[in-house]
Structure 1
Amino acid sequence: MSILFKDEQFDFQVLRLLGETAYCAADIGEVVSTSNRITEGDYDSWCDEWAKTAERLHGIGNKALAEGHLISAKKAYLRASNYYRTAEFFLHENPNPEKIEKLFDASTECFSKVMELNNPVIKSVMVPYEGTTLPAHYYQINDTNEPNPVLILLTGFDGTKEEFYGLAMTALEHGMNCLAIEGPGQGEVVKKQHLYFRADYETIVTPAVDYLLANESIDPEKIVLWGESFGGYLAPRAAAFEHRLAACIANSGIYDFLGGGINGLGLTREQILTIAEKDPETLNNKLYQITKKSPEFRWKISQGMYVFGCSMPAEFVIAAGKYLMKGIAENIKCPTLVVDTDEDGLVDSQAKPLYDALTCRKDYMLFTGKEGAGAHCQCGAKLIGNERIFSWIEDILSAK
């Protein structure tokens, strides 16, 4: 369905923002008025208008803070952080590092104010990782020091740990502490540390579990892993090798990343990988032709090259070919929920193959456009999504 733009990617990002109103991370009037100033399909216009709105809210937050209106300040900073993230979203096709860094820094600065003003507690933590550290936010229930269940959140192809604010706060409502972590290819890790995606994401999740067990008051029998969007591959992949998890959620499930969204030529994964390796220039030209016709494919290719550290589309195709759950999904031992949506235009027909490959306790959950939740990861319908997914988590944990 079209909301405010004919451009599919612009329109989906608007839906994504409107869904954040459930968490006070956006406001409907701000989203509509800003969108009305944007030129259809123009990345520079998108960036400029969202940056203007973010800067205005940033100023409102500063003024409210100075005057002692702490709740108003927190809410203004939260929306500003999200709008700065949105302004930076389409800048990766021809990356301008200074502009990207300026907007990203402004977004994280605003969110740091949210953390200072928030109750319950949100703290920045660093998870040890291969000679360096990975940034994370830890959300902690205030009223008890007793060991609680904990939810580890993995974002996806383009998300940030800051964007998980609403989902993490929902976890607290359900009696779970929460660790929102960024790994290679994501948020601060790709922009500041220049670490790119890797297929073996257990190398991120295992240190996260180690950190929680060593540093936080959690129930070691109730560690739940949730992967959102591309995290629908990353989380199940990690769960196949990290067996201290009580449950795993793949929202939305991905069995074959290359086959589920990158291949726009109607070829098998074997055919496109062969062309990428033997005749990359021809493949580059063909993929560039598709990007001229499809805004969605244009963004997938440009974003993919940015977060995978690739200089050409064929190089990205080869990298994406490594993200396959064949022969791996069978190793998952914990109960696993595979989430699907019937109008997902970003990752097509990947949840069911993942579900079918699982040999553990498994459940399949379909959200539909008829109920307003058919978009990718239930964007625009987070209340519906969270109600059903957290109920599943509670059922799994109650059995323990």
Structure 2
Amino acid sequence: MARPARLHFSDEDLDGQLVRTLSMAVVSAADLGEAMAAAARVDRPDRDRWHAAWASAAAGAEEAAAAATAAGDRVSARAAHLRASEYHRQSWYYLRSDLGDPRLREGHRRHVAEFAAAAALMDSPAERVAIPYEGTTLPGWLFAPDASGTPRPTVVLPCGYDSTAEYGWADVPPALERGYNALTFEGPGQGAALIEQGLVLRPDFEAVLTPVLDWLLTRPEVDPGAVVLVGRSFAGYLAPRAAAFEHRLAALVCDPAQPDMGARVPGGLAGLLAAPVARAQVRASARRREFFGARMAAHGLDDVGDYLRELRRYSMLDVADRISCPVVVVEAEGDFAGGGGRTLVDALTVPAELVRLTAAQGASGHCAGLGQQVWAGAVHPRLHRLLSAAPVPAGSGSR
């Protein structure tokens, strides 16, 4: 699979993270010049330099927000708060192996606070919500095109491995512009649910999605027959897993589908050597130490061997035939997490479409990279057709 061309960094991972932030310009949550200036301050792949560069960019955006507020410029203030939120998120990306790192905790706090400041200035409803879950609550945001309370189709957006409910804003404006509500939320192992509450990832994501839908369907602005689950990045596993047990969904979108995370762990002799090799990499390389450490932290683990064994639990192919709604699977050329789309589609018994996006379209890399308008233009017309044909679910529960 061809990798996307480098944009700025020779280091593939750093370049991919820069692309993530640049893609947020589509939803006014990044400025191309600001972001490239922050990248220019990272003169080598060092997590401390990365943090300092993006924290500085966030501080600059916060100053711009304050100046715009003082001048009575609500539009500029909102955009600056959105940019500050995204830059703060990016600042702690390479600090996630230590959830106690004060830079991570402060950066996360400011990421959330800056988004809340932007939400207060939005032209349509943006409500911070707490969703009941196993004796606690899960953080999220519920957005609507207007305050009429009219029942509408609703896009449900769980987080990925390293995203937050606030970062879920990336997919919200395209939904609002098409007349949908949007719910972004954090499950165990994600965002504040991990950093503040200590909840860790679980493979049975249906145990998370069902209480989320129980709560969502009490909202008068939500059409219960038109709820769409959209799983991007690691949620390309979480969403289809939950959809196999939760039958109040009108459609499912996966980008990319990751129905068997365990398939990425080698078997046989290579499997026996995987943990020792990974431990050696962790000892020898700060980058590999952070790579595995961040993922282990999300799972509540501290040993690479345990992490590799845990990944084998993240497979839903044996229950894929229980999914009861139509499915759209997106695979972008060069997506490092791609390759599982055909496997999932072949395991389904419902109508499913595999949509391929390409570098020629400008939509290569993880979750289509910089091609977010191309992605929305491919996915939303298909959702419109599916929802136009969707019957109201006969029951209100899951199985």
TM-score of the two chains, using structure 1 as the length reference: 0.92
Choose which of 341, 362, 380 in structure 2 pairs with 1:372: 362
3-state SS of 2:94 partner: coil
1:330 aligns with 2:334: no
**Residue equivalent to 1:286:** 277
Query: Is contact 2:99-2:105 (8 Å) kept?
Result: no
TM superposition shift of 1:191: 0.4
Identity of aligned residues (%): 32
User: Is residue 2:1 matched to residue 1:3?
Assistant: no
Q: Which residue of 2 aligns with 1:226?
A: 230
Q: 2:312 aligns with which of 307, 321, 327?
A: 321
Listed as ranges, the matches of 1:205-244 within 5 Å are 205-244=209-248
Write the letter of the residue equivalent to 1:395.
Answer: R
- Give the letter for the 1:86 counterpart: Q
SS of 2:318's equivalent in the other structure is coil
Deviation at 1:170, TM superposition (A): 1.2
* Counterpart position of 1:392: 382
Q: Which residue of 2 aligns with 1:167?
A: 171
2:343 to 327, 336, 353: 353
From 372, 376, 383, the counterpart of 2:373: 383
| Structure 2 CA distance for partners of 1:182 and 1:74, relative to 1, 3 Å | same
Q: Once structures 1 and 2 are overlaid, which stretch shifts more, 347-356 or 297-306?
A: 297-306
- Alpha-carbon distance, 1:229 to partner: 0.3
* Distance of 1:102 and 1:54 partners within structure 2: 12
What are the Cα deviations for residues 214-254 of structure 1, in whole angstroms up to 9, with x where unaligned?
A: 13321111011001100001000000000010001111101
| Separation (CA, whole Å) in 2 of partners of 1:152 and 1:295 | 36
Q: How far is the alpha carbon of 1:291 from its aligned partner? A: 5.5
Q: Which residue of 2 aligns with 1:106?
A: 110
Contact 2:149 2:220 in 1 (8 A): no
Q: Does 1:245 align with 2:249?
A: yes
**1:391 deviation in Å?**
1.0
Cα–Cα, structure 1 residues 126 and 93, in superposed 2: closer, same or farther, change >3 Å?
Answer: closer
Distance of 1:209 and 1:67 partners within structure 2: 42
Deviation, structure 1 residue 140? 1.2
Q: How many residues align?
A: 386
Q: Which residue, out of 141, 144, 150, partners 1:146?
A: 150
* Letter of the structure 1 residue corresponding to residue 356 of structure 2: L
- 128-137 or 31-40: which moved more? 31-40
CA deviation vs aligned residue, 1:10-52 (integer Å, no higher than 9, x gap) = 0001111111111111111111111111022111100011001
Q: Is 1:36 matched up with 2:26?
A: no
Distance 1:256 1:55 in 2: 40
| Cα separation, partners in 2 of 1:387 and 1:150, compared to 1, 3 Å | same
Show the counterpart of 2:297: 306
Indicate if the aligned counterparts of 1:8 and 1:296 stay in contact, CA closer than 8 A. Answer: no
| CA distance, structure 2, for counterparts of residue 180 and residue 127 of structure 1 | 11
Does the 8 Å contact 2:29/2:86 carry over to 1?
A: yes
Q: Tell me how far 1:94 sits from its aligned partner.
A: 4.5
List alignment gaps of at least 5 residues for structure 2: 391-399
Aligned partners of 2:83, 2:380: CA distance in 1, in Å? Answer: 25
**TM-score normalised by length of structure 2:** 0.92
Moved more, 39-48 or 88-97: 88-97
Q: CA deviation at 1:7?
A: 1.1
Which residue of 2 is the match for residue 278 of structure 1?
none
Q: Distance in 2 between matches of 1:171 and 1:34?
A: 30
Equivalent-residue separation in structure 1 for 2:131 and 2:185 (angstroms): 8
The equivalences for 1:82-93 within 5 A come to 82-93=86-97
Q: Which has the higher contact order (CA 8 A, sep 6+)?
A: 2
Question: What are the equivalent positions in structure 2 for 1:120-159 lying under 5 Å apart?
Answer: 120-142=124-146, 144-159=148-163
Please give the secondary structure, in 2, of the residue aligned with 1:327: helix
State whether residues 8 and 295 of structure 1, in contact with CA within 8 Å, keep that contact through their aligned partners in structure 2.
no
